[in-house]
Amino acid sequence: MKTRLVALAGAAALGIGAVTAAVAPGPHRSGTALAGGTSPSAGLDPAKLKSGLDAVHRAGTPGVFAEVRDGARVWRDASGVADLRTGRPVTPGMRQRVGSITKTFTAAAIMQQVERGRIRLDAPIGDYLPTLVPGERGRKITVRMLLNHTSGLPEYLPYAFPSLRDFPAPSASGRSLDDNRFRRFSPAELIGMGLDAPAASRPGSVPGVYSNTNYLLLGRLLERVTGTRAETYITRNVIRRAGLRHTAFPTGTRVRGPHPRMYEAFYGMIDPPRDYSVYDMSWVWMGADLISTTADLDRFYRRLFTGGIVSRSSLAQMRRTVPVIGQDGQSRFDYGLGLRPFQIPGCGTLWGHDGTVWGAQTMSLTSADGRRQMSLAMNLVRWNRFDASGKPQPHPIDGALASFYRQAMCGNAP
């Protein structure tokens, strides 16, 4: 089962659907940039891409910016504002909290250690973290199960943000988002919440259940076998290896360098949407706390898919998927080892990841050969509202995003 981007453009899930900071990007002027050629091709049409990006903004997104690559040709642009109060425009090179796209970086780091023989994918996690995951769970849950969300471990987010636990019931509120703005969580504290909660399923059962608890444990595993902080290892061996200049883990509550404010609507519960661009991201750690740019994300996935970060055999393992149930408890999609396949009708299978944190949403897609790519970032999240039956209702942003994804990745394909 492939995830269709028409559906994906709809409501995001509850939370995620966190070293030395990299050098902040220099200023970028607004407007289309097209490199690698002198005239647009049928597959990379700047006018149509700009029109599609403007449509996402007009549909209700304060600001949106993107980069699309087709071989050596590059288009990047932005539409809308970075700050609703001042009207400051959003620009193509801004930095963004990229949410669960972090999972691909974490998974790549784990696969590097698999290649070195320090980690075995099908070994029990208890072999490496016997104190953290003791007993039967430690013996039955494997490293692979953590990577592809078949461990059965539940999501910790409802326990870290208790005021959201009953959503969409009227008793739910956004109070936890404000309470936790400057709260410093430890990975052990968050992992404990997930381990103490009722299991989501049996270890190894399919479909799996998407859970950020898995990737926090993978962060601890990485630290156990490398003897260094997970942030430090990934910075040295994934971020720098990919040649990324503007990607980093946060060192405080603010994003360094040019960035938009980040507006969270939480399905209409926060109205008007509130800015959460200043936030302690310890609540997501190795699951979702990276900061990057659309250009860096395109570069990262191209390097990954052309063998520049892990071996071809490791990449093949990362593309082996199983069905997984989303955080909403209803949606299903395929998931590999930190990678997801996506399907656009008439365009074939694409690979990458999406991510949200409070106020920021990002999508990065790559063709299977690494040639065609798109990364898009926006500063509004969970814009859909729920009907009386508790189902999210369609919003114009959904259709505008789906149209842009198709134009970006398929060009003029029928």
DSSP 111-176: HHHHHTTS--TTSBGGGT-TTTS-HHHHHH-BHHHHHTT-S-PPPSHHHHSGGGTTTTSTT--SHH
8 Å CB contact between 307 and 316 = no
- Name the β-bridge partners of 110: none
pLDDT of the residue at 198: 96
Task: State how far the alpha carbon of 159 is from the alpha carbons of 176, 213, 324, in Å.
Answer: 10, 12, 21
Kindly state the percentage of the chain with pLDDT values over 70: 89
**Across the strands, what pairs with 361?**
356, 378
pLDDT of 320 strictly over 80: yes
pLDDT digits (tens, 9 = 90+) for 27-53: 333 344 444 332 333 478 999 999 999
> pTM of the prediction?
0.91
pLDDT value at position 329? 86
Q: Which DSSP letter does residue 333 get?
A: E
Q: What is the mean pLDDT of residues 313-325?
A: 97
Q: Residue 412 has what pLDDT?
A: 62
Q: Indicate if the pLDDT at residue 19 is higher than 80.
A: no
Residue 354 has pLDDT above 50, yes or no: yes
Residue 17 has pLDDT above 70, yes or no: no
Q: Could you write out the DSSP letters of every residue in 211-279?
A: -HHHHHHHHHHHHHHHSS-HHHHHIIIIITTTT-SS-B--SSSS--SS----EE-GGGTSSS-EE--S-
Q: pLDDT band at 82, cuts 50/70/90?
A: very high
pLDDT at 32: 40
Give the gyration radius of the chain's Cα atoms.
Answer: 20
Count of Cβ atoms closer than 10 Å to residue 211 Cβ: 27
Identify which of 326, 325, 353 has the alpha carbon closest to the alpha carbon of residue 339: 353
In the predicted structure, residue 400 carries a pLDDT above the cut 90: yes
pLDDT band at 26 (very low <50, low <70, confident <90, very high): very low
Looking at residue 20, its pLDDT comes to 23
φ/ψ of 299, rounded to 5, equals: -65, -40
Give the pLDDT confidence score for residue 1 in this predicted structure. Answer: 34
Q: For residues 82 and 19, which has the higher predicted lDDT (pLDDT)?
A: 82
pLDDT digits (tens, 9 = 90+) for 252-286: 999 999 999 999 999 999 999 999 999 999 999 99
3-state SS class at 14: coil
pLDDT in tens, 110-129: 999 999 999 999 999 999 99
What tens digit of pLDDT does each residue of 186-242 get?
999 999 999 999 999 999 999 999 999 999 999 999 999 999 999 999 999 999 999
What was the pLDDT predicted at 34?
41
Least confident of 56-65, 324-333, 349-358, 405-414: 405-414
CB of 118 closer than 8 Å to CB of 225: yes
| Residue 168 confidence class, pLDDT cut points 50, 70, 90 | confident
* pLDDT score for 386: 87
- Residue 122: CA atoms inside 13 Å, Cβ hemisphere, count? 1
Q: Note whether 105 and 339 are within 8 A (CB).
A: no
* pLDDT above 70: residue 151: yes
